Structure 1
Amino acid sequence: FIGTDTANTQHFFDEINEYGWDLGGAGPCVRTGMSCVGAARCEQSCLDEQRIHRTLMNNFTDDVHRPALPYKFKFKVSGCGNDCQNAIERSDFAVIGTWRDDMKVNQEAFKGYLGTKGREYIIENVVNRCPTTPWPSMATSWAVDNRN
């Protein structure tokens, strides 16, 4: 409706309805869902975000005009734990992909990284930020506690 004035808004709305468009999809009940760019462009993706998003929207489209959910209900789909859609903070129904397997470590690559960056860098920038405390300070290999 950009560029229309109040006097022409209803006329425009009626004209669009004649073409079969049902305007008002962001009505008071179900809001337009959102998902991250997903597997199409992101290597962190752990699921098929677009399929999940489409399935949710197709299932709940009727609730836009025939409310069955709380006011302004929002769906968001993030493909990995980075949650670039802020689904946890900004939606009522969040789908967030998680890793399904144990983490695997290329020990040779780690030794090269250790040689390049040094022990202090790894402790400050990796170990202190990892909840599994994966690396004793004197170790020369990397191990992750996959149970946690």
Structure 2
Amino acid sequence: MANKLLFLYCLLAGTMDASTGLLLMTAPEFTLGLMGIPSVHPEAMVFIRFVGAFVFGVGSLYWLALWPVWKSGNWEWVRSCLLATAWLRLVVFVFGCVAIGTGALSLQWATVPLSDGLLAILQGWLVLTGKVPGDE
């Protein structure tokens, strides 16, 4: 049961990031609107799209990590993915909090560092406490 929940978590976390990234790349104004974030200068849209490419890449890492689990039951890539993306999420959390705290980003951006911070904690806990299969 725990393995199924972990597999589902990776599918959901990957889908959340990959779909957000895809939307930021293809429809940044629409996506920012969904997040409640005011429109940015048109010249800044290329940077929003660039961020979207990165977010899509992070999300797709979860899917890539699940391939060996699906094929052979090997969870090694999942462990590495969770640890690496936990670090990336922690960096986004710190940056986002500082940027919001200093006024560089509006408070509407708070969902980004909040969700990344919570997922970083969860993923770190999963890896460091041996909850990922194969850690025995």
Structure whose residues are more often helix by fraction: 2
TM-score between the two structures when normalised by the length of structure 2: 0.30
TM-score between the two structures when normalised by the length of structure 1: 0.28
Q: Whose Rg is larger?
A: 1
